[in-house]
Amino acid sequence: MGGLNKKAAAWLSLTFLLILGSIYAVWFFTKGGLTAASAVSSALLCLIFGLLGLKAITQVFDNLANNTEPDPTLGLGKRSLRQSARHPFAKLFFAALFSRLLVFIIAYIFEVKLNGYKAGLFETFGLWLRSDAPHYLGIAQNGYVTSGDARFHIVFFPLYPMLVRFFNAIVNNTLASGLITSVLFTCISGILLYELMLCDYSRKKAKTAVCFLLLQPAAFFFNAPMSDSLFLMLSLMCMLLIRKKRYYSACAIGCLAAFTRVLGVLLFVPASTELILHYFRLRKRGKGSLKFLALNSPSLLLIPLGLALYLLVNYTVTGDAFTFLRYQSEHWSQRPGWFFNTAAYQTDNLIASFPYEPKAAFGLWLPNLLYIFLSASLMLLALYKGKPAAAALNEAGRAQGENLELRLSYTLYFIAYFAFATGATWLLSGPRYLACCLSLPAAFALAVNKKWLLIMLFTLLALLQALYLYAYVSGMPVY
């Protein structure tokens, strides 16, 4: 980074810290009722987020100054007849499928252990009708309605129920259709994540990322008939197409992601980041022009189009494009807020629930807090361990994927995703939402290098997923 860039980065970093610190200070002194524990929790999360922001600013200037790309042959990205260069799509698909079937079997074993034998495995799939699953399947069966409790289901985006309805025309069982689609989308997500990682990193890193995706504690939610697996698949597909410089195709998929969840709109962040960096790389080689931006920038508008279509659905059904916001606020006490406020009230609720509501403590508040803090910390570790591409050049002058820093677009996407997803005023599904963030598997793969440590961590993650699944099956407030 040149001297001018260093000075600009320093000023931008100072501005960022002043803004973040001012927001936190205003919140802290006007909040009222903060306990010592919640004050410490909120301050710690704000600190971690601040460090993430500082690192992201450094990455921005490094990328603009150097624009060094990884060696495209590092991950053996081109297919050939050579066995060593083939992509193990079948192995990835069936490994993911096996992991999903194993989750079903373990959930069944827990169900029998807790409630005794009542029926076979297939007859107990009703245990997956929890959290938001009944709402999605209700929409798949009946569409959106305007009366009764089901009128509140307009807050759930329509693409997943539409696909379940399509599969149900073949399967003729709504629950089975939901479970099949969720498992299928998860298996495809494993392949897409592997391909995405190979754009920058080695096969080893790609496999590590897929293992983390399937073993993380909240991964069992990918089995449930909810939109998590679909949103993950579309996000990964969008990002993979962006990395291949197919911007219109990528943003069309991003539109579908935004038609699946409001968080899909945030794919605009990595898409625009990659487009801008591509322009600067072309300009560095004397090929960049405003014509490139003029031709490709309009593709970015496709992503928020997905949200616009959802608003149209709201208007068509209820006569108000923003009915979902009113229902979120009135029925679920859900409004946009600050992530550090979430850390504060989650900490207070955790402490208050220990003596009187241990199920809420261990099923809801503790998993939420752990996922919030550990995901942000994992991103921070990956960013500070990796080397910028320009500092990781091999003798041939190509960036080596084993030691590369997390890609800038993944960093910025996580920051936006984290702030939005965890900033809700009444967050109940933090682990489930964060499990769908594509930046986390990449961060884990970059943060952990030693084989023995990987084995230990994967074992721990599998055990934590089993415990979290047990809490879900036992009826704890796991959302």
Render pLDDT for 257-269 as a digit per residue (tens, 0 to 9): 999 999 999 999 9
Domain count, the chain: 1
Residue 197 lies in a domain: yes
pLDDT digits (tens, 9 = 90+) for 78-135: 443 344 555 789 999 999 999 999 999 999 999 999 988 888 888 889 999 999 999 9
Q: Which two tokens stand for residue 390?
A: 């320009």
Residue 50 lies in a domain: no
Give how far Cα 399 sits from Cα of 112, 189, 244, Å.
52, 27, 18
Express as a percent the part of the chain with pLDDT over 90: 79
Residue 40 lies in a domain: no
Give how far Cα 310 sits from Cα of 68, 258, 332, 346, 413, Å.
39, 8, 19, 30, 22
Give how far Cα 454 sits from Cα of 212, 379, 400, 445, 460, Å.
10, 17, 21, 9, 10
Q: Please give the pLDDT value at position 331.
A: 87
Residue-averaged pLDDT of the chain: 91
- Cα-based torsion angle of the residue sequence 398, 399, 400, 404 in order, rounded to the nearest 10 degrees: 180
**Span 318-344, average pLDDT:** 94
Residue 62 lies in a domain: no
Residue 310 lies in a domain: yes
Give how far Cα 445 sits from Cα of 134, 215, 291, 466, Å.
35, 13, 37, 22
Report pTM. 0.94
Residue 332 lies in a domain: yes
CB 188 within 8 A of CB 152: no
Of 101, 138, 107, the residue nearest 124 (C-alpha)? 107
Q: In which domain, by residue range, is 462 found?
A: 69-473
Judge residue 227's burial from the number of C-beta atoms within 10 Å of its C-beta, 0-12 exposed, 13-18 middle, 19 or more buried: buried
Residue 145 lies in a domain: yes
Residue 5 lies in a domain: no
Per-residue pLDDT band at 398 (split at 50, 70, 90): low
Q: Please give the pLDDT value at position 67.
A: 63
Outline where 297-407 has alpha helix (H). 302-318, 323-332, 339-356, 358-360, 366-385
pLDDT digits (tens, 9 = 90+) for 199-233: 989 899 999 999 999 999 999 999 999 999 999 99
